[in-house]
Amino acid sequence: MAAPAAGGGFALFWEALSANRLALLGLAVVAMLVLVATLAPWLAPFDPNAIDVQAILLPPSWTHPFGTDELGRDVFSRMIHGSRVSLQVGLVSAGLATLVGVALGAVAGYYGGWVEAAIMRFTDMMLCFPTFFLILAVIALLEPNILNIMAVIGLTSWMGVARLVRAEFLTLKEREFVLAVKSLGAGDARIIFRHVLPNAMAPVLVALTLGVAGAILTESGLSFLGLGVQPPEPSWGNILSQGKDNIEIAWWLSLFPGLAILVTVLGYNLLGEGIRDALDPRLR
């Protein structure tokens, strides 16, 4: 599986992606999330942290489309601002995990020998720990703010990327173009970054897209448990947590953030699957 080249390669990639309706649906969901997160200050009709004691737990209406919470805050406005947290955590965490995984996987796959054995045994050791419980343990020791959450999720989610990149490097380093570059006296760094890594990026791109969905889901779970983004800053997870306490009288506090998480994660997964299929020449 090789990454699409510029120009005609991208045209083939886009043609294959656009032929997949589910992938286009996922792309539309992701684009909408980015747009909403970017324009949140202008799209939100109310201040997300404004308390109104006369509007406590109001059901959905024209004034408050998603109702209000136990402090009278507009849930629709808090959902819009919460999308910024989800997008930020998803992109930064998945990006960090991808950087670590690519670096370790490239070194392991290219050099082999005891270097590969050491890195892959460390990777296997990390895979032995249940990731979510490992994140819970680390967050419990640190201050639960958004920076710590992004760092912890990213640094505990790189193992799959490392294994993918290692497998690609093991195959690519034996190809004729790599042997030719070596015979010309190119250094290891030039071979890795200029010749091998660009051809190993297709599965990495897929893993990055799917990793964003996983990071959003993890952050929502942490916030639901009270170990994620702390109130009054809104996130879909802590809005859902507040709904748990009022589930019998305020169903909207659980329904809307739950649907937002579901649709967003599904959108990223559909897009990731579509990118994987579009980059696979066997499916063209």
The 10s digit of each residue's pLDDT in 69-79 is 999 999 999 99
Alpha carbon 25 to its chain centroid, in Å, reads: 17
- Residue 6 is assigned to a structural domain of this protein: no
- Residue 3 is assigned to a structural domain of this protein: no
Query: Does residue 51 surpass a pLDDT of 50?
Result: yes
Query: Does residue 272 surpass a pLDDT of 70?
Result: yes
- Residue 22 is assigned to a structural domain of this protein: yes
- Residue 178 is assigned to a structural domain of this protein: yes
Q: What is the mean pLDDT of the chain?
A: 87
- Residue 10 is assigned to a structural domain of this protein: no
Query: Does residue 8 surpass a pLDDT of 60?
Result: no
pLDDT recorded at residue 202: 83
pLDDT recorded at residue 129: 81
Q: How many domains does the chain have?
A: 1
pLDDT recorded at residue 3: 44
The fraction of the chain above a pLDDT of 70, given in percent, is 95
Domain enclosing residue 117, as ranges:
15-283
Band of residue 159 on the pLDDT scale cut at 50, 70, 90: very high
- Residue 172 is assigned to a structural domain of this protein: yes
pLDDT recorded at residue 6: 44
pLDDT recorded at residue 189: 84
**What SS3 string covers 85-152?**
HHHHHHHHHHHHHHHHHHHHHHHHHHHCHHHHHHHHHHHHHHHHCCHHHHHHHHHHHCCCCHHHHHHH
Across the range 31-58, mean pLDDT stands at: 92
Model confidence over 93-151: pLDDT tens digits? 999 999 999 999 999 998 988 999 999 999 999 888 887 888 888 877 877 788 888 99
Dihedral sign, Cα of residue 229, residue 216, residue 130, residue 201: negative
Model confidence over 192-239: pLDDT tens digits? 888 888 888 888 988 999 999 999 998 888 888 888 888 888 889 888
- Residue 9 is assigned to a structural domain of this protein: no
Cβ contact 215:153 at 8 Å: yes
pLDDT recorded at residue 101: 94
- Residue 21 is assigned to a structural domain of this protein: yes
pLDDT recorded at residue 196: 86
Cβ contact 195:181 at 8 Å: yes
CATH label of the domain that carries residue 90:
1.10.3720.10
